[in-house]
Amino acid sequence: MFKIPLRLKPKPPAPDRLESDQPVSDQPAADVPDDREGVPFMGAAAIALGLLGIFTKGYIFVPLAFICSLVALFLGHVSWAFVGLLCSPSPAC
């Protein structure tokens, strides 16, 4: 019996290894890359810089938060970019 990988993007089997050759164990294989993306860096930077803009010198951190939010938006991290835009207050305030 072989272990069935439970991932959305299955790794194609190597042509030199058959399914019957694969060891059965509870531990994940060491050569299988981790597919988790983690926290998007630009979105997290936008939120952090927006909060810094609220509590410290806004004229430095607010434009940086706005730029990071736009980059996160173009990278496809819409929710992170939206929260980053909400955290970056307008410089006129």
Interval 32-62: pLDDT, tens = 455 456 788 999 999 999 999 889 888 889 9
Overall average pLDDT of the 61-69 stretch: 92
The span from the CA of 74 to the CA of 42, in Å, is 10
pTM tops 0.75? no
Which helix (DSSP H) or strand (DSSP E) does residue 78 occupy?
A: helix 78-87
Interval 71-91: pLDDT, tens = 999 998 999 999 988 987 765
Domain range annotation of the chain: 41-87
- DSSP characters for 50-75? HHHHHHS-HHHHHHHHHHHHHHHHHT
